[in-house]
Amino acid sequence: MRMRTTRRLALGAAAVTLAAPAIVGAQSAVRRWRMVTSWNKNLPGPGVSAERLAQRVTEMSQGEIAIEVFAAGTIVPAFGVMDALTSGAVEMGHTAALFWAGKLAAAPLFTTVPFGLSPTAHIGWLAGGGQALWDELYAPLGVKPLVGGNTGPSAGGWFKRDIASVADFKGLRIRATGLGGEVYTALGATAIAIPPADTYAALERGVIDAVELLGPVNDAPLGLQRIAPNYLVPGFNKPNGVSETLVALPLWTALPEHLRAIVAAACQAEHDVALGEAELANGRSLQALIALGARPRLLPDDVVLAARPVAAQLLQRLATRDALSARIVASYAEALTAARAWTAVSMLKG
């Protein structure tokens, strides 16, 4: 028989009453999971990936797992996804690892690192040992992580004023997250974490002067070019855009082997499809944004020269936080060195 209890979940300023995950008895063939996300509904890229992933798992499992998706703010805030999983309030989440730096210092490496691994090299790292480290990092929180989409490389961001040199970052307030946000801070800006759905209002009210989000196709629906038309490209801040799928670890370990395989395969398939879509859609969206007033601006050379050593220093400091962080940084750095050895000779320049 089913048993269900309720609990209070404190997230941010508000407390939300949620039903605890259902304990499905042996006679029930359906596992009904709620997936909370960090995205507004159907946000191009990660919002679409969340919906499509839920459908894919439901179909591949022939209904043994049925997933209902909840946009940011409907059950928990955008940055409350991990807390909801850790507390046992929900079964599943779709978000990005870079949001958890305050809980797990090394978590941002599993989304992206400034000047770091490309999307394809990142998957190679996960397959070659990175996934085991990711599992180990999240295990104390009672969460199983998997990839769940990819938006590809991000732009440097939308700016109200043109960025002609590194000096233009001084005093600038930018919506930015992860290690890229820390690099912007080191360059003289103030990085502020704001959920994607709230960025336009913050920009319009003057709370921030710039927005670093994702690529053109993801940014376009927000209309940021109307207020901050200067679009800095290419971006050093997020060369990769991995979304993560989170499953409550007790549920994951209790799944039959065939269902674990289905969830993992569905997550990998969504990553690959989303990445391919982003590659084409970003080009088309950039052209459309230019027609609407966006002004692409090349990243100044002195910004690259200033930002690159800062990013390296961030990783070095991160490696001193604890033994697991040191192992994650060392593994990531080895993969990055190996990837660069090949791309240096395999990719045409210009």
Instruction: Give 214-257 pLDDT, tens digit per residue.
Output: 999 999 999 999 999 999 999 999 999 999 999 999 999 999 99
Q: What pLDDT sits at residue 348?
A: 67
Averaged over 36-64, what is the pLDDT?
Answer: 95
Q: What is the mean pLDDT of residues 71-86?
A: 96
In terms of residues, how long is the chain? 350
pLDDT at residue number 350: 53
Q: Are the C-beta atoms of 196 and 39 separated by less than 8 Å?
A: yes
Dist. CA 154–CA 336, nearest whole Å: 18
Domains for the chain: give ranges and CATH numbers. Answer: 30-150+241-280 (3.40.190.170), 157-239+293-346 (3.40.190.10)
Half-sphere exposure of 347 (CA within 13 A, CB side): 9
Q: Are 34 and 70 in contact (CB under 8 A)?
A: yes
What is the average per-residue pLDDT within 71-82?
A: 96
Tell me the torsion sign for CA atoms 65, 70, 75, 80. Answer: positive
Indicate the pTM of the whole model: 0.86
d(CA 106, CA 255): 28
